[in-house]
Chain A
Amino acid sequence: MTEVNYALLKKGGFMRQRQKDNFALRLKIIAGRVRADQLPKLAEVAEKYGKGYVHLTTRQGVEIPFIQLKDIDAVKDELAKVGLTPGVCGPRVRTVIACQGDILCPYGLVNVEEIGIKADQRYYGKELPHKFKFAFSGCINSCAKPQENDFGSIGVVEPGWDGANCSQCHLCEGVCSSQAITFDSMERLQYDPAKCNLCGDCIRVCPTDCWKAKQVGHTVFVGGRIGRHPELGRELVVMVDDERLFALMDKTLDFYIKYGNRGERFGSTINRLGWDKFKSEVL
């Protein structure tokens, strides 16, 4: 009997189960999107080779549990027919997650699904000292939990105010959750950019469109993780465009490859070497 290379199987998305010769197949899903034409095939494979169900992971993934060792190649071939391929596990870039951002969410400021797809193309499966997770959110609500990932971003908007049509309705003051907008005793609007969290609520609520988007971009967080030693990612830079965002991903991964110890999560690498050292190398 041939030796089973578990490391290779794991790298290829097949995770050994506690039941002998059973594997859970993790699929490569990007930004949580599975096409309608792929769903029947998923169901078919789960029925035929698994136990008739799929497991939805905590990071927008799909896994088919209870695949038998002998069926691995057949399962791969079946799924490939609808463009589904095995995902990855182990010390490399994992499933890239993203919310649906401005594609449909009223709060979404940027198309993070597109960012996620591009990040996946550039980095998915890249070998690193330890696992590395990307997550992108379209706004400050952070539904994709970018701060819990090694590298994450949120969409941000800098609001600009032109009071020509202002009706002094105070709605912007009422919705501002960071007290950046107030009216003084003369009913004059005061905006404090230092307090603004760049969420865009004032722009959305203004009945007379006095608030407009001056600049839209991403705020970047690095070094976050959950696991055994949870730590939220730290804010690296506020308001960068797509190009700069990808340049920062490149530099962050380069830094991790250069300095990270084997088995050390990225946040720990930063903690060991110092935040200033990291910042000085990537900014």
Chain B
Amino acid sequence: MDTLDLRGEVCPYNFVKTKLALEELETGQILEVILDAGEPIQNVPRSVKDDGHKIIEVKKLPDGAFSLKIEKS
């Protein structure tokens, strides 16, 4: 599983990078992205959802960031 660490990345580049990484995957494959709390977590999961992908697991990391596992649609 690929992991994309987007801590420190601002909107909308964090979403753009997530989108590009998802485009490289086949349907059903999983991508892990790590996002800062605040604006990134408000925007990226929503946009991923809007694009039809499935967020299958979310974990809060010790530094307050979130790890999202996204299944490509």
Contact = CB atoms under 8 A, between A and B. Distances in A.
Interface string B32-73: 000001000111011101000011111110000010000000
A204 B42 CA distance: 8
A171 B41 contact: yes
Contacts of B66: 170-171, 174
Interface residues of A, number: 11
28 contacts: A106-B43, A106-B47, A167-B56, A167-B57, A169-B55, A169-B57, A169-B58, A170-B58, A170-B60, A170-B66, A171-B58, A174-B37, A174-B41, A174-B66, A175-B41, A175-B42, A201-B42, A204-B42, A204-B46, A204-B49, A205-B42, A205-B45, A205-B46, A207-B45, A207-B49, A207-B54, A207-B55, A207-B56
Most buried by A among B49, B54, B59: B49
Contacts of A201: 42
Given A174-B41, A205-B41, A106 B57 contact: no
A175 B60 CA distance: 12
Contacts of A207: 45, 49, 54-56, 58
B71 to A, nearest CB: 10
Given A174-B37, A205-B45, 9 more contacts: A106-B46, A169-B58, A170-B66, A171-B41, A171-B55, A171-B66, A201-B42, A204-B46, A207-B49
Interface string A161-204: 00000010111001100000000000000000000000001001
A129 B2 CA distance: 65
A175 B35 CA distance: 12
Contacts of B49: 204, 207
List the 6 closest pairs (A to B, CB-CB), nearest first: A169-B58, A207-B55, A204-B46, A175-B42, A205-B45, A174-B41
